[in-house]
Chains A and B, each alone.
Chain A
């Protein structure tokens, strides 16, 4: 049976830490973008036209906010997957340890 183990214990632990951090932070960022936080306005990619050509301001900006928020949620979801994979790796590494010794 081909082994599903492809990274060592340290790499897996690192993966878990980054994914926990990533899930929390990107999830929070996603929530804040969806809530249209004013502090995050600098990170919203709006242009001069978005403001001027807006039929019912500030819906265009809100749309961008939502888009960025969704991106954050997607990235957070990817980190959930990375975390799950890392967790499996940790388990496999542990099993490996038992089998060797």
Chain B
């Protein structure tokens, strides 16, 4: 026990690993994840380390696997995740693995290049096929036109079919046919027109089916074009323009006969090619499918190997090259399992010399390690987000488990919303294993899921505060019957002064609790439901919630200060208790603890009859500091003046205790320590040097050498730090108490918002005098539900969460928590086997 309240006790240890067993030992340590390796060669750069070659080989394998994975993803094959956690392969298996991956990569690369070449070929043939088909159309059209109206051709002087043209005009027309991207056609046409001064004739037709670009795999739309021109000069120009526009030109035979033959040939070749392509694709699929089955396991193996070599690089190599020396931080409670892991590693490697774990003394601060489980980890994260605790400092997380959801619920007090939140969290908690297995990558869902136990507790506490506030979707539940009654107000015998004429005349009447029978006593639990329909509901609730916030705040802060006592006791700092903790807690209780007592006193001391004359607490508290007691009506109890004056004086007396006395005593202690071990000989102090046992015990730890110097004492610094601390604390007491009023403000905001939502949405549906209201209720309820979840649960919940977080980080933790430690980061394979890997 006690593990939860402070971080684990850590120790620095040396591991002597036999060279041949080092790899297996480190792999076993990685599986248990209990040790943090320290870098023993910080001044050696990455390329000079011993296992750099192995790391590089692992990286190369990793790269190959990534390539395979990318190919698998591109082929839309699912990688099979069996959740299996493979053992680390032996170093001798590395060559086999390398060979396997090399073969796989080469095979895939070869398939890819072949496939690309085939596809390119296929594309060219397809384009040629389209050209032949389309140009045939152009030529046919030209022929028809010529048949129908030869005069037209005569005029335009451009016979479309060169062979036919030979008959009429003695011109020799050339032509070029090709394929071009469809979006380039307009500019292409314009360019041709301008460069050739209108002396060429362009025909184009779209290819309906998209063609696949072999290099990128995109689907592109293209058009066939054919250009007629006359003479070689124009031909050169046209060809250049085609090149410029990256149009692919294909040879097109001139006679229809040849074209037909060519088309037949092309079609036959396309068919053959298609068959080859299909076979290639099948082969590729088979290879990838086989790889997809094992790629995850391979990844894990390679990455584990890489992690091990990386860790081995941190070790120091003994001069004899026989063993590796590692320095590790490890929790004392887990030393046994670490020893056991080392033994297992040695056995596995077949080595006969055992690996040795040797605990070391050090003055360095060990890392902070808080053991958590799935329930506490959320709360520990909340604390760690502010600052990782100093080593062996009181850990606020266990208290946060209760206070955090409670303070949240104070701001989120609504039975209905609490139930909804609890249901949502229960779903996450009960379906936990299934949801983890699903591996949802959504970041927001991941965050909510990680905090499922926090949300569950927040929901449960909201139900509780909802019952106390008697609020359920802004309506009250009248379970036990209200303690208020209107009837006695009409009864003259008990002092009631209401009549029916009074009712007629007044819009608003106030019940008088002083009349006997009007107020029969408090509601058994929470706020009386009658306040829900009272017009002065807010006045009553504000007063109640403000007092409650102050009382809760004072308790929370006093608790924080008390925890600081345990820190001082643990770290054996009596001075901090006498001149830190005691003045602090006296200051706090005499001012704000007293205010809390006054709140309870006022609740108890005044009843219905006397409540009219009850003085305001705020005024009384202000007067306490002003020492003004002239107005007798503001007196709460006899002897108030003496007690309050005394309290203020005590509180003020605490300030110099913290401010001045502590630095002075620290200085005295320092001087005394400095003179220790020296003797005064005639006004000259003579020391006898460091004693034998102080010197050089831990020489072998090279890093420990430069850290065991005692810091120089500087009175000015200490005084300034203490002054800052004191001022911060005293002003903080006031501002922090005021800060707890956010509990009231947010709970008010939440209650008002939910009331607004009810009146603006659901109220409209309900206020119908006939059956037409039913469908309206149906529709508006859906709107009400959605808005409740979006605004009241998520938005308001987030804001209450943030404010609860602030109250913990600032108001609670600054009373005792330093949070200047650094986190224990054990060497572990967990993240590798979960597939989350970032170097």
A interface residues with partner B (beta carbon < 8 Å): 18, 21-22, 25-26, 29, 37-45, 64, 67-68, 70-72, 74-75, 78-79
Stretch with Cβ within 8 A of A (4 or more), from B3-11, B41-49, B303-311, B761-769: B761-769
8 A-B pairs closest in CB distance: A74-B774, A45-B767, A75-B777, A71-B773, A75-B778, A71-B774, A43-B766, A78-B778
B interface residues with partner A (beta carbon < 8 Å): 416, 420, 473, 475-478, 529, 532-533, 759, 762-763, 765-771, 773-775, 777-778, 781-782, 785-786
Q: Are A44 and B767 in contact (CB under 8 A)?
A: yes
Q: Are A64 and B529 in contact (CB under 8 A)?
A: no
On chain A, the residues within 8 Å of B777 by CB distance are 26, 71-72, 74-75
On chain B, the residues within 8 Å of A70 by CB distance are 771, 774
With known contacts A71-B773, A75-B774, A75-B777, A38–B478 Cβ distance under 8 A: yes
With known contacts A18-B785, A75-B781, A79-B778, A68–B533 Cβ distance under 8 A: no
Q: Are A68 and B773 in contact (CB under 8 A)?
A: yes
Distance (whole angstroms) from the CB of A2 to the closest CB of chain B: 27
Q: Are A45 and B781 in contact (CB under 8 A)?
A: no
On chain B, the residues within 8 Å of A38 by CB distance are 478, 533
Cα separation A41 to B529 with both chains bound (whole Å)? 13
Smallest CB gap from A73: residue in B: B774
Distance (whole angstroms) from the CB of A11 to the closest CB of chain B: 13
Cα separation A78 to B476 with both chains bound (whole Å)? 26
Q: Are A71 and B771 in contact (CB under 8 A)?
A: yes
Cα separation A70 to B774 with both chains bound (whole Å)? 8
Is chain A's interface secondary structure helix, strand, loop, or mixed overall? helix
Cα separation A70 to B759 with both chains bound (whole Å)? 20
Smallest CB gap from A40: residue in B: B475
Distance (whole angstroms) from the CB of A48 to the closest CB of chain B: 12
Cα separation A79 to B420 with both chains bound (whole Å)? 18
Cα separation A68 to B766 with both chains bound (whole Å)? 6
With known contacts A37-B478, A38-B533, A72-B777, A67–B785 Cβ distance under 8 A: no
Distance (whole angstroms) from the CB of A100 to the closest CB of chain B: 13
On chain B, the residues within 8 Å of A41 by CB distance are 533
On chain B, the residues within 8 Å of A67 by CB distance are 768-771, 773
Q: Are B533 and A39 in contact (CB under 8 A)?
A: yes
Smallest CB gap from A20: residue in B: B423
Q: Are A71 and B781 in contact (CB under 8 A)?
A: no
Q: Give the residue of B416, B478, B771, B782 whose beta carbon is less than 8 angstroms from that of A39.
A: B478
Q: Are A39 and B476 in contact (CB under 8 A)?
A: yes
Given contacts A39-B477, A68-B767, 8 further A-B contacts (CB under 8 A): A26-B781, A37-B478, A39-B529, A40-B475, A43-B767, A67-B770, A68-B766, A78-B775
With known contacts A18-B785, A39-B475, A42-B763, A71–B533 Cβ distance under 8 A: no
Q: List 16 A-B contacts (CB under 8 A).
A: A18-B785, A18-B786, A25-B473, A26-B777, A37-B478, A39-B533, A43-B762, A45-B766, A67-B768, A67-B770, A67-B773, A68-B773, A74-B774, A75-B778, A75-B781, A79-B778
Q: Give the residue of B478, B768, B771, B782 whose beta carbon is less than 8 angstroms from that of A22.
A: B782
On chain A, the residues within 8 Å of B774 by CB distance are 70-71, 74-75, 78
Q: Are B476 and A72 in contact (CB under 8 A)?
A: no
Cα separation A85 to B473 with both chains bound (whole Å)? 27
Smallest CB gap from B779: residue in A: A75
Q: Give the residue of A21, A29, A39, A44 whose beta carbon is less than 8 angstroms from that of B785.
A: A21
Q: Are B768 and A71 in contact (CB under 8 A)?
A: yes
Find the residue from B475, B532, B769 having the highest chain A CB count within 10 A.
B769
Cα separation A64 to B767 with both chains bound (whole Å)? 9
Q: Give the residue of B533, B765, B769, B785 whose beta carbon is less than 8 angstroms from that of A42.
A: B533
Cα separation A37 to B771 with both chains bound (whole Å)? 20
Cα separation A41 to B766 with both chains bound (whole Å)? 11
